[in-house]
Structure formats: C-alpha cells, structure tokens
Structure 1
Amino acid sequence: DENRGTVYFGTGSPSSDFYGGNREGENLYANCIMALDAATGTRKWHYQTIMHDLWDRDISCPPNLTTITVAGRKTDVVVQATKDGLVYVLDRDTGEPVFPVEERPVPVKGLPGEHPWPVQKYPVKPKPFVRQVITEEELTDISESAHQAVKAEFDTLESRHKFLPPSEKGTLLIGYSGGAEWGGNAIDDEGILYVNANEEPWVVKMIDANRFDHKKGISEGEKHYLKNCAMCHGADRKGGAQFPELLQLKERMKKEQFLKLVRSGSGRMPAFPHVSETEVRQLLAYIWGEKETLSVEEAEHLAQDRQQQDTVFGFRPRYLVASWKQFKDPEGYPGIKPPWGTLTAINLHTGDHLWQVPLGTYPELRERSIATTGTDNYGGPVVTAGGLVFIAATKDSKIRAFDSSDGKILWEYELPEAGFATPVTYTAKGKQYMVIAAGGGRRTPSGGKYIAFSLD
C-alpha cells in the first residue's frame, strides 16, 4: 500500500509441522497476516489465523488489497485466503476483521507432550470455499470399487474435526495443499474475489522418535533419514504426491549427485548444511542399501558433531511423521466426491458467494460419463476490466477464460505443458495481451515455454 507506506504479507507455520510439544503457546508470529512499515520494518499490527499450528496451514499466498462498502461505510481492506478454505477481510489500518470472526473450542487431546491451543478462529463471513470436515458421506462415488477401497482406509483414520491433533493412529487432514494455494487470487474493481482451490485430503500418521533409538537393528543412516527426510518422503521411503519415492533412488541417481543434492538442495528440496559429512555418508548407505563403515576417528568426530548440533542447529521432535500421503482411491483420484478443484467468486461487500464451478477435467473420466470433476490445481487467476477471469493451473494443461458474472467457460486452450503459474495481462501499442508460463511438472510432462495471447 504505497499511500500508507505499508507492506502486507502472510507468514509460514512453525516447525516441526505436525508436532508442537517443544513450542508451547500460540506460536507468534507464525500463521499471521502482517502489516509492516515499509520504510522501517516496524510492525504495525498482526492477525494470527491459526494458533499453535499442528496441520501445516501456513499462509500460502499473498493477500489482496481493495476497498469495500459495508453497512454504508467505505473501508480499505486487506483480504487473505487460506489453505483451509477461509477468507479473512481485515481493516488495513487496524487489522480488525470487517466481518465477525468467532473463536470456538477445538479438540485438545494430542500426542504426549503436546499442547494444542484450546480455541481456533472461524470467520462467519465469507463462508468457507472448501469442505471443512470429511465424513463418510463425502467419500468418493465415482465407482463402487473406489468407494469400498477408500472407506476401508477411512475407517482406520480419525476425521471428525478439522482441528484434530495428529496421532499415531492416523488423521485425515484438510488444508495441507489447499484450499487456497501459492498462486494467489484476483479481485476486480467491483470488489469480487476470485479464488481457485484444491479439495484433496491427506493422511498423516505420527510415530514416537524414541522407538528408533531403542529399536534393535536400526542403522545410524536410518535414524538420520527419519529425522531429516521422512517428513516428505515417508518413513517407508515410498514418497507421495510431489515427493518422490526413494526405494529405487540408486537406479536414478549417482552417489555424487546425491551428496551434492543433500548439501545444496534443488527445487523444493532444501539444503541440509547441519548434517555432518559422516552422517551424509551413513544416510547414503541406508538409502543405497549398503553396509555402514566408520573408522574410530570418524566415530569420535561424529560424537563431537552431534554435541555441536544440539547447541547450534536445534532439536529432534519427540514425534516424527511415519506416513504422509494423499487420500486417494486405487486409480489415483482423490478419495472424496468431486469437485476436486474449484474456482469461486465471492462478493466482498456482502461476504456472499456468487458462484463456484469445477476447475479442470480428467478426460478419461469424462469418457466414462463422469461429469467434470475439477483437478488439483497450482497457479492463480487474473481478472480483466472486460469481465474475463483467466486461469490455467490444472493438470489437463488447459488455460481457460471464465465469465466473471456467472462462472461459465467462454474460451479454453490446451497448452504444450501444464501452466502451473498465474497469468499476467498487459497492454502494448494499444493492444491487450495475456501471458502464461507453461512449465509443467508435478508429475505431468515438464517444459519451459511462455505462451502469449492477444485479447481481440
């Protein structure tokens, strides 16, 4: 906000993601909408959307700025959509909600040593744009065999509340990969918010880290793996969704490449500078299925490294992720009823939804007479003054133009690779253009093209 000299942004979730026994309290300033003085960095205000986050519901996308009229009064607001499908509309000067937000009691029985916060926030308006809990009635119905398979898994999980703390039994989690995602949202001059969303639950199961310290036959490399790698790739190394399996990693990667990857990171994988050279070698031996060998001198250095890590780097949480995967049917589709991806228009003056439509298709399901389901989508929309909402983001590699008034598809085009990005629109020499990056990925073919369209 240049007039106010204020920068607004959202913050991430605290570590570790699914166990907070070491971080009692609300965990400020995680999961916050922040307002800072742009010149000095001084905090003007903050608004926390999740207290003591145990579900990895960080604020994934930038907020939007607009002006709305509520009860006859114009108010400059900052609008934040969240991964669990909520929209917070806050006064830009004070950080106070424009629409009522309730604090309600939530489950507080967590893992041993855990301290779940006893209340969480529920905006009264706008209403959520994704499901807030998964019940048996929400399980997939695209086929009887799919329904029976996911019901069998569903019956083993806890799912009665969106704020149910993670457990060793297993919890059905919403809001990990959206709800709202990283591509951001769009607001037009009429104060209408356009937000795309995912509807794909995840399963998270925890395990007591102390089990591995006392488990006979477990190698040092496996201990390093469980501490540093299992969060994404799973304790069983089978991966899930965008996280690759590591059981056959030696067939795809040379040892030198692995060592460089652990040290430097790549793409979504961070670097691990705190892991010693000896520990990296032990980790490699575990993943490659080889025997670990240490000299007496190396063992002494390793003991010294561990003492230093305890004081310099941080901690190992008492509970680790044993399994972390998408809740899917045997064919790989989400284990709940469609839609699995949506585009929603919300009137910010009233807080009411104007329309919601599925976003994306699986062509093979349409051939089976299964209606448009939507797909998980990664990107965001852009809206034009002419009433067009452009968005790609879907796994069917299409970019579409929706009528902003009713959500009807007016145009679509198949990109060379999926456009997991947010389009831009601009004017040059009196003509308007729209451009999308078509890079693919996320288990679709990869590419590296920018595709430009003129709006005639």
Structure 2
Amino acid sequence: FGDSLVCVDLKTGQRKWHFQIAHHPIWDYDLSSAPLLADITVNGKAIKAVALPTKEAFLYVFDRVTGQPVWPIEERPVPQSDVPGEKTSPTQPFPTRPPAYARQSIGIDDLIDFTPQLREQARQVVSRYRLGPMFLPGVVSKAEGPIAALTIGTTGGGTNWPGSSYDPETHIVYAQAANTGIAPIGLVEPPAGFSDIRYVAGTAGQPFVEREGPGFGSAADAPQRGRGGAPGAAPAPGPAAGGRGAAAAAPGAPGAPPAGGGGGFGLQVQGLPLLKPPYGVLNAINLDRGDLMWQVPHGDTPDVVRNHPLLKDLNIPKTGQQGSVGLFVTKTLVVLGDPSVTTTPEHPRGAMLRAYDKQTGAQVGAVWMPAPQSGSPMTYMANGKQYIIVSVSGGNYSGEYLAFSLPASESRPTTQGGQR
C-alpha cells in the first residue's frame, strides 16, 4: 500500500478499494495532500468522486464509491534501474485526464534560458547528471558522472502537504504547485558497519552523511546531534548547497549556490535557478471536463533573480516562487500567500497574501505580510463581517497568526451567502 489512496468502510473497517500511484516507490512521491471529495458531472453522468493532488503534479480522479478512475489511467513503460540488485517496476500509472499541472521531469528545454550563456552553463552542470522522463530511477553515484539522476517533484514539487481546494459550486480544483523542486538521487556504498543494505543515499567524493526525515530531532527532549547521523557529522548538503545528493561547486562557478542563499532552488547557475520559470504556479482544474482552465505564476520574482547583475538589462516577467502553500476559495476569489519573502519597489521585505479571480486567474488584490505563509489560510464571518486569518513564519521571524478584514468604509456588498 505504499504511495496508495485507500478507501475504508467506516462501519466495518474493511478495505473497499485502493490505488497505488507509484509502484515499487523508490522516489519521494508520498501522498502528502488530503484527498478532495467532489460531486461532479462527466458527460452528463453524476459521479461521487475523490480527487487526489500529488507531488507528481497529477490530479488523480476516482469514483469514490467504486474506486474506478473517472478517466482512464494508463500503465506506461518507464526507465529501468541499472543499480546492481535493484529491480524497478516496468510500468507506472499515468492519468489521461486532467493533464499534468507542473513540471514532472528535467530536460534540456527546461534549463534556464534568460541568456544563451546561462543556458550553456546549465548544460555543463547537467552534463554530470542523468536526465530522463518521469519515474527516473536513482543511479550509483560516480565522481566522473553521473553524480545522480536529476528528478523533480519527488521531494518538493507539485502539490505538497498544504494541499488544494475544491469549489463545490463550479466543480473546479485550485492547486498551487512548486515547479523547480529538483531532487538529485545518487547512491553510494555505506561505511562499514552502518547498514547491510548495499547502497544508500549519497554522493561520490563527498563525506558520508546519514539522511534524516523531516522533523527528525525536533522534539524538545531529542538528543542534539550534528545534522546527519553521528554527533558532529558534517552538514548534509541542503538545497542552497546543490540539492540533496549534489556535489558542491566553487562560488561563482556553474552549479554553485549564490552568496546569501538562493531561495531553495537546489542546483544553480551563477546563483540563479538551474531551471527556467515559472518557479511556482497556481492552477484551476475543471473536474467536469478534466482539463486545465488556467495557470498563472504565483509569487513575486525572487530577489536573486530580480537583482542579478547578469539580468539587469532584461525585462523578466513575473516568475512565481518555488514552495508549497495552502489556499482557500470564496464565492469569487482564490486566496493564498507567497512561500518566500522578497523586496520590491512595491513593498518592503516580506511576502504578500494574494487574491485571484477564480474564473480567470487574474490577481485582483494583495496585502503585505512580514513573513511567508506557513499554514493554510482560512476565512470566517463574524457580526456580518468577513475575516481572513493566516499563519506566517520563516527565517528569524517567529510564527504568528495574522487576521485581515476590510474597514467598514471600504466594505462592498457581498454575494449571496455572505462571502466574496
């Protein structure tokens, strides 16, 4: 049942049906988003459905009573592992509808293309890695290459734990998605006595570091250890240091992290994201038709891009931001905050809480927040007035809740039901 959606009868505890989105799951495609219950109409037929947003950037849609896919899900051949002793599934499931709503693999056409020179440097960076389609297996890491298999979405791509929202009146799912979540997958032989597994995550030529899951050691009484396996172990390479399993590069060299951090983009070129924009998107997906209604970048262009000296003479459209944030839907709007902070001519350093027209994706308003959104926003009515509350935190800014409302002098008539 790994990486599976499971339906259980609440009265009996019996499993009614399940569906596995990744066979023999050697990637980080865990189902981190809550399924969405949706009563939809497809080709004139009413269906009690369940829609599952994923880090794959596929929205899986099933009849929640029978477990049958609303649209065909095809088993297609995928790349096979050449790691000694590893046997991967020959096929994986691919929904035919709705279409993918974020980047699912990395190819040359996905690399940064602000200038021909940056594209060429990006090609040099990825030449030491294995590229391929979705479900690309990891490789035994070699210093001369391939260092790792370059995957995307398997750690921080697509729709992650905050999940998505569903509008029961229009039958539309709104999903924010990260679009540059690079995850290099390299394997090395572990040190003697560490494990009886032949290969574990690691990078050739780098000190071995035990990989720990999110939140490990965060309890108040947890032993204080170096970031890794043994006390005092060298820090594991994080996103700003070339990504999980990536080899570090000298500052300023292709693939090196920028001074001061790069916003979690992973592998980089001259301090810029390895991949071209958009870095993060907001999507509207019609569940009656199984199509993508619209897609827009979400979030201001990161400071490392906006202020980069190599790009000073270029007019770069809004890129959106890498990261995962939750959202909510009202009668007319989709509301969500930025996943990272920026400093722009329009606002001081901080993040914006944005409202989009839910029919078109056009941004219709934004308010400043001192830190990025760190929990899904919500809206409520009190004494005839509508409020929005959202949690923010990040960096050296402690977590707190922010509440917003319109002053009485600026309030406009609401639609039926009280909410806009």
Q: Using the alignment, how far apart are the partners of 1:119 and 1:199 within structure 2?
A: 24
What residue is the counterpart of 1:140 in the other structure? 112
Match of 1:376 among 322, 342, 356: 322
Q: Determine helix, strand or coil for the equivalent of 1:152.
A: helix
Decide whether aligned partners of structure 1 residues 60 and 414 sit closer, same or farther in structure 2, where only a CA change above 3 A counts. Answer: same
Mark the CA change 1:383 to 1:161 in structure 2 (over 3 Å): closer, same or farther. Answer: same
Q: Residue 398 of structure 2 aligns with which residue?
A: 447
What TM-score do you get using the length of structure 2 for normalisation?
0.76
1:425 aligns with one of 367, 376, 379: 379
Moved over 3 A (4+): 143-146, 229-232, 234-240, 269-273, 285-288, 321-327, 330-333, 363-368
| Residue 149 of structure 2 is aligned to residue 171 of structure 1 | yes
One-letter code aligned to 2:333:
L
Equivalent of 1:403, from 357, 360, 370? 357
Counterpart contact for 1:179–1:199, Cα < 8 Å: yes
Inter-partner Cα distance in structure 2 for 1:272 and 1:73: 57
The aligned runs of 1:250-329 (5 Å cut-off) are 265-266=217-218, 283-284=230-231, 323=246, 327-329=266-268
Match of 1:344 in 2: 283
Provide closer, same or farther for how the CA distance between residues 203 and 454 of structure 1 changes in structure 2, counting only shifts above 3 A.
same
Q: Specify whether residues 270 and 122 from structure 1 end up closer, same or farther in structure 2 by C-alpha distance, changes over 3 A only.
A: farther
1:92 aligns with 2:46: no
Letter in 2 for 1:157: Y
Instruction: For 1:142 and 1:271, locate their aligned partners in 2 and report how far apart those are by CA, in whole Å.
Output: 45
Structure 2 CA distance for aligned equivalents of residues 149 and 126 of structure 1: 35
With over 3 angstroms needed to count, the CA separation of the structure-2 counterparts of 1:272 and 1:348, relative to structure 1, is farther
Q: Report Cα offsets for 1:28-69 as digits up to 9, x if no partner.
A: x11011112234433221111110112111111101111110
1:178-217 counterparts in 2 under 5 A?
A: 178-188=157-167, 189-200=169-180, 201-209=182-190, 212-213=191-192
State whether residues 202 and 324 of structure 1, in contact with CA within 8 Å, keep that contact through their aligned partners in structure 2: no
Aligned partners of 2:339 and 2:230: how far apart in 1? 36
Task: Report the Cα distance in structure 2 between the residues aligned to 1:172 and 1:187, rounded to whole angstroms.
Answer: 32
The change in CA–CA distance for 1:192 and 1:270 in structure 2 (over 3 A counts) is farther
The 5 Å alignment of 1:88-127 reads 88-127=60-99
Q: Aligned-pair RMSD on alpha carbons?
A: 3.4
Q: In 2, distance between residues paired with 1:75 and 1:185?
A: 20
CA distance in 1, matches of 2:375, 2:302: 21
User: Structure 1 residues 179, 287: closer, same or farther in 2, change over 3 A?
Assistant: closer
Q: Give distance in 1, aligned partners of 2:338 and 2:34.
A: 17
- The one-letter code matched in structure 1 to 2:173 is L
**Bigger shift: residues 178-187 or 160-169:** 160-169
- Correspondence for 1:361: 300
Q: CA 1:57–1:231 in 2, change beyond 3 Å: closer, same or farther? A: farther
CA displacement at 1:121 relative to structure 2: 0.6
Aligned position for 1:391:
336
The residue type equivalent to 2:376 in the other structure is: T
Letter in 1 for 2:33: C
The offset of 1:418, in angstroms, is: 0.8
Residue 71 (structure 1) shift: 1.3
Q: Does the Cα contact within 8 Å between 2:202 and 2:209 map onto a contact in 1?
A: no
Q: Secondary structure at 2:139's aligned position in 1?
A: coil
Distance 1:371 1:287, change over 3 A: closer
Structure 1: which amino acid aligns with 2:230?
Answer: L
Q: Report how far residue 362 of structure 1 moved.
A: 2.6
* Contact preservation (8 Å) 1:146, 1:329: no
> How is 1:27-38 mapped onto 2 (pairs within 5 angstroms)?
29-38=1-10
Deviations 1:134-184 (A, max 9, x none): 211221013445333321121121112212210022101111212111111
Instruction: Determine helix, strand or coil for the equivalent of 1:150.
Output: helix
CA contact (8 A) 1:158 1:171 kept: yes
Q: How many residues are aligned here?
A: 353
How far is 1:239 from its partner?
11
How far apart are the structure 2 equivalents of 1:126 and 1:143?
33
1:51 to 14, 17, 23: 23
Q: Match of 2:393, SS? A: strand
The structure-2 alpha-carbon separation of the partners of 1:337 and 1:285, relative to structure 1 and needing over 3 Å to count, comes to closer
Identity %: 33
Q: Where does the alignment leave 5 or more consecutive residues of structure 2 unmatched?
A: 141-145, 236-243, 249-264, 342-350, 412-420
Structure 2 CA distance, aligned partners of 1:120 and 1:108?
A: 11
1:158 to 121, 130, 144: 130
> In structure 1, the residue corresponding to 2:230 is in which secondary structure?
helix
Whether 1:415 and 2:364 are equivalent positions in the alignment is: no
Determine which structure has more spread, i.e. the larger CA radius of gyration.
1
Query: Cα deviation per residue 1:48-95 (whole Å; 9 max; x = unaligned)?
Result: 111011211111110111111011111111100110110111111111
Q: Which has the higher contact order (CA 8 A, sep 6+)?
A: 1
Distance 1:67 1:270 in 2: 46
- CA distance 1:36–1:332, change in 2 (3 Å): farther
1:67 paired residue number = 39
Q: Deviations over 1:382-412 (max 9, x none)?
A: 0002x10000142132110000011011111
Shift of 1:342: 0.2
Unaligned ranges ≥5, structure 1? 1-28, 214-219, 244-260, 289-320
Distance 1:447 1:362, change over 3 A: farther
Partner residue, 1:318:
none
Which has the larger share of strand?
A: 2
Q: Give the C-alpha shift of residue 101 in structure 1.
A: 0.9
C-alpha deviation, 1:286, in angstroms = 5.2
| AA partner of residue 269 (structure 2) | P
Q: Is the 8 A contact 1:68 1:348 kept in 2?
A: yes
* Structure holding more helix per residue: 1
Deviates more, 1:428-437 or 1:325-334: 325-334
Query: 1:381, 1:81 → 2: CA distance?
Result: 13
